[in-house]
């Protein structure tokens, strides 16, 4: 199943991005849809302080689900 991405989705990166200080599994929020398969993702700490904002392609993200989803 291909994830459908939407504004304000919680996502995790699936690749290391050392140039942005990000590693696989770090969680962010989609804050802008830049193109069909490109999203601006904001990464914040537990206090809400942003530590990275990066434009990322859909193939480097997964959507996180906090409730049951039908397969």
What are the domain boundaries of the chain? 10-63
pLDDT digits (tens, 9 = 90+) for 29-55: 999 999 999 999 999 999 999 999 999
Closest by CA to 63, choosing from 39, 34, 35, is 39
- CATH 2.30.30, applies to 10-63: yes
Average pLDDT taken over every residue of the chain: 93
In degrees and rounded to multiples of 5, residue 18 shows phi and psi of -60, -30
pLDDT band at 2 (very low <50, low <70, confident <90, very high): low
As a whole number of angstroms, the distance between CA 12 and CA 43 comes to 10
């Amino acid at each position: 199943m291909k994830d459908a991405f939407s504004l304000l989705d919680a996502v995790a990166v699936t690749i290391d991005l050392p140039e942005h200080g990000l590693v696989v599994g770090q969680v962010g929020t989609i804050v802008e849809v830049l193109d069909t398969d490109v999203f601006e993702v904001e990464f914040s700490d537990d206090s809400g302080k942003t530590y990275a904002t990066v434009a990322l392609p859909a193939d480097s993200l997964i959507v996180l689900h906090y409730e049951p989803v039908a397969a």
